[in-house]
Amino acid sequence: MYSIRLSGIELRDPFVIASGIVPDVPEYMARVCQEFSPSAITTKTFTLNPLEPHKPPTLVKISDGCFLNAIGLGNPGIKVMGSMEVPCNLFVSVGGSSLEEIVETAIIGEGKASLIEINLSSPNRRGYGADTAKFVREIVKEVKGKVRKPIFVKLGPWDNVVDLAGKALEGGADGLTLINTVKGMKLDVDAGKPVLSYGTGGVSGRCIHPLAVRVIGEVYSEYSAQIIGTGGVFSWEDAMELFLAGATAVGVGSAILERGFEVLNELRVGLTAFMEEKGINLSDVIGMAVRK
């Protein structure tokens, strides 16, 4: 009833783990797969070569259900994926500071991936993420030419996101992941300086949920594209809002930080109960609230 097809990939339920949550420790990822059966794990974003994370503090909770992080895409480089055996769908998140790097990373990442998610929207490292989004059409086109797995592009809640989503789709993207974190800052009033060592960070969680609903709604109503909706999903109701706005699948991130992977099951149970009571399928509701 609530299994979905995301760009040809069968997912037993619509809840995937968003990027940046499960660290790239293969045994740990495997255990998450076995214990919590996520329909997919989106990996942390890999770059071609190892990238040091920013210095701590890199992650703080700023209010109920809201986090601020600036890990800065720190990762051991995509090549570690070669030896990674993880018994569930992997959505491999890739990034880089140039078109060439992203393409090469995607090619290597494809091996273990069910889907490639190109992260063009991290606000937390200059030259990467958000700074590369303006080349989205070219990047997607190049990656599509070299990689056969479905390509999703993760964009931020920017003023031109509908525009960029259109360019991603023109370039051949199979879908979009919306939204990345919102650039914010937390200051310590005693020290008189930022709490995170990087200064600014990305706000995630409850604080950005209404923004995610709006952005997904705008993009879906324009293109009816396949969307992995991410942004502050803590309850099945939050997820349902993203489905109604146009998401086909939903990524869960901050809720896992706050409550653990068990939240996945709460979401499944809640969503199932609602759909059974209403007598509907998930496909009936996708985009329903914004369809023109």
Partner 1 sequence: MIRSKVVEYSEVGKSHRIVFTFQGRRPLPGQFIALILPGEKEIPLGVTDYNDSTIEVYVDSPKLFKRILSSRYVVLEGPFGKPIPMGNTLGVATEDLFHDVLFPLREAKRKGFEASLECWGSCGADFPHREGVKWDVVVASVPREMLDKLPRSTMVYVRWVNMNCMAGVCGVCQVNGNLACVDGPFLELRKIVA
Which entry of its own copies, partner 1, none binds 184, CB below 5 to 8 A by partner kind? its own copies
Cβ-contact 152, 121 below 8 angstroms = no
Q: Which range touches partner 1 (CB under 8 A), out of 1-9, 60-68, 86-94, 207-215?
A: 60-68
State the amino acid at position 212 in one-letter form. A
In total, the chain counts a number of residues equal to 292
257 near partner 1, rule: CB under 8 A: yes
235 is catalytic: no
- The CA-based angle 275-278-279, given to 5 degrees, is 80
- Tokens 């896992």, residue? 256
Region 142-201 residues binding partner 1, contact defined as CB under 8 A: 186-188, 190-191, 193-197, 199
Nearest to 286 by CA among 217, 238, 232: 217
For 176, phi then psi, to 5°, come to -130, 150
Cβ-contact 15, 38 below 8 angstroms = yes
Min separation Cβ 11 and partner 1, Å: 23
Active-site residue (options: 37, 122, 224, 235): 122
- Tokens 């509701």, residue? 285
Query: Residue 77, Cβ neighbours under 10 Å: how many?
Result: 15
Region 41-80 residues binding its own copies, contact defined as CB under 8 A: 62-66, 68
Residues that bind partner 1 (CB under 8 A): 20-28, 31, 44, 53, 55-62, 69, 71, 74, 186-188, 190-191, 193-197, 199, 237, 257, 277-278
Q: Which residues are catalytic?
A: 122
Residues that bind its own copies (CB under 8 A): 62-66, 68, 158-160, 182-187, 189, 192-194, 200, 203, 206-211, 213-214, 217, 237, 240-241, 244-245, 274, 285, 288-289
